[in-house]
Structure 1
Amino acid sequence: MKLVQPSCALKAKGSQSLFSCLTPEQLEKVQLHTCHFFKKGQPIFQEESVPTGVFCISEGLVKVTKLGSNGKEQILRIAKPGDFVGYKSLIKGGRYRASAIAIEDSSICLIPKAIFMELLHENVAFYQQIVHLLCEVIDNAESKLTDIAYKPVRGRIAEALLLLDKAFEDKEQITLTREDLAGLVGTVKETAIRIISEFKHEKLIEINKRSIKIINPDGLVKISHLYD
């Protein structure tokens, strides 16, 4: 991890709307954040560690993970530029309930705990936006639980590829390991590899070494909507 220029939190796509309600004085405080460069595979924070602030993704992608009782990693979500991670544990108090790990080289800004909590208490509009963000996270988690319970693995992987395609929108290909893809949809690596191979045979995707390129998004959409 190394320091980078402290200007990216406000430039990160999607983050501007969260800060748009701040006063000039509050915005000046946010601009005092520190930014760090994380290499692929490097943790931003780890489960059970003490929160130090809120992290804003400026460049790159981050997986938010949790270890299951079987010791396997479950990916809760993929955070892209403009997204925030670490705020739920900060608001609730206590230690992190999950880990955040860079899945590609990433530039990430840290807004210190004191500044973030001050904004929550002093700015009602900012507080409401954070509540809205938390509600979205809950909605997405409930949808994921429903999919895991009722949607076949083929449908879950098709949906995951479509979501990842949006996350990797600045690139032509998805570069996620098969282990991470399996962890994202709640299956084992062998099943993920088999279904990816099927999608390639069905000409839904192209595979170039570790990268995946979607060539038939409509076909994946149809598969992602199947529940039987």
Structure 2
Amino acid sequence: MKLTQSTCKICKGSESSLFSCCTPEEIENLNLATNCSFYKKGQPVFQEDSMPVGLYCVSEGLVKVTKLGSNGKEQILRIAKPGDLVGYKSLIMSMRYKASAIAIEDSSICLIPKSQFQELLNSNRAFYDGIMQLLCEEIDSAETKITDIAYKPVRGRIAEALLLLNSSFVDKEQITLTREDLAGLVGTVKETAIRIISEFKNENLIEINKRSIKIINEQGLKKISHLYD
């Protein structure tokens, strides 16, 4: 993937990010204060138990937010796409990160200093409301995921995850998440994820090209996803 140096004015995710509610003056201040960096696939953006220094905004690429379970296995909490913010909960609470963020493909990610973030929270009500909405949505998503893991079979969870990932990889038409990451996203083991992906292929729900997955029957996956709701 060829990445470009980004600013808030030309960022590919700007229209979908919270910064779309900022004034031209606020955008200019962000451009002056923000530091954008390139992360290779697999490179940590920040790590669990470290202290936050600012707010991360994904400009290009994809980032997985992960947490290690008591068994030492990685659980993926969410996938952040261009325009998404990462690390805001720990920043707001002035606490160490409870999870890690890792690039799952070559990515361009911008770091907004803590002081700039706090200034926006205090001066821009639309930005503040947007952050509160993000917090509520994340809580709701976590509650849904807990319920799914408890009651929905793995087959349904993987169908749901593929539909979710399809919206994240919308510009690529194919899902390039590894089978191990897919397993971590739905709370299962890699071998089970591989088996179910193979079943979906045989049922003509998806196509597989090496490590990439292309959905060819979205309605079929939706039916499997909602079968156990």
TM range (shorter): over 0.9
Which deviates further from its counterpart, 79-88 or 134-143?
134-143
Give 5+ residue unaligned stretches, structure 1. none
Identity rate, percent: 75
Structure 2 contact 8–14 (Cα < 8 Å) conserved: no
Q: Is the 8 A contact 1:14 1:82 kept in 2?
A: yes
AA paired with 1:165?
N
Question: Residue 8 of structure 1: CA displacement?
Answer: 4.7
Q: Which position in structure 2 is the counterpart of 1:20?
A: 20
> TM-score w.r.t. structure 1 length?
0.93
SS for the counterpart of 1:20 is helix
Following superposition, the deviation at residue 84 of structure 1 comes to 0.5
The equivalent of 1:101 in structure 2 is 102
Residue 104 of structure 1: how far off its partner (Å): 0.5
Match of 1:31 in 2: 31
Q: CA deviation at 1:4?
A: 6.4
> After superposition, what is the alpha-carbon deviation per residue over 1:30-61, rounded to whole angstroms, capped at 9, x for unaligned?
11211011010000000011101111111100
Displacement of 1:9 in angstroms is: 7.3
Q: What SS does structure 2 have at the residue aligned with 1:180?
A: helix
| 1:146 corresponds to | 147
**Does 2:167 match 1:177?**
no
After alignment, is 44-53 or 17-26 more displaced?
17-26
TM-score by length of 2: 0.93
1:195-218 Cα distance to aligned partner (Å, 9 max, x none): 011111111111111111111111
Residue 57 of structure 2 is matched in structure 1 by 56
Q: Quick one: distance in 2 between partners of 1:175 and 1:16?
A: 22
Question: 1:4–1:36: 8 Å Cα contact kept in structure 2?
Answer: no
Aligned partner of 1:131: which letter? M
Distance in structure 2 (CA, Å) of the matches to 1:202 and 1:20: 42
Q: Helix, strand or coil for the counterpart of 1:94?
A: coil
1:191 aligns with 2:169: no
Note the C-alpha offset of 1:117: 1.0
Letter in 1 for 2:30: V
CA positional deviation for 1:121: 1.9
- Structure 2, unaligned runs of 5 or more: none
Separation (CA, whole Å) in 1 of partners of 2:81 and 2:10: 14
TM-aligned CA deviation for residue 15 of structure 1? 5.1
Correspondence 1:127-166 to 2 at 5 A: 127-166=128-167
1:5 has 2:5 as partner: yes
Instruction: Call closer, same or farther: CA 1:221–1:41 in 2, change over 3 Å.
Output: same
Matched ranges for 1:55-94 at <5 A: 55-94=56-95
Instruction: Report the alpha carbon displacement of residue 76 of structure 1 after superposing the two structures with TM.
Output: 0.0
Alpha-carbon distance between aligned partners in 2 of 1:159 and 1:216, rounded to the nearest angstrom: 13
RMSD, matched Cα: 1.8
Q: Give the AA of the match of 1:18.
A: L
* 1:199 alignment partner, SS class: helix
The 10-residue stretch of structure 1 (96-105 or 16-25) with the greater mean CA deviation from structure 2: 16-25
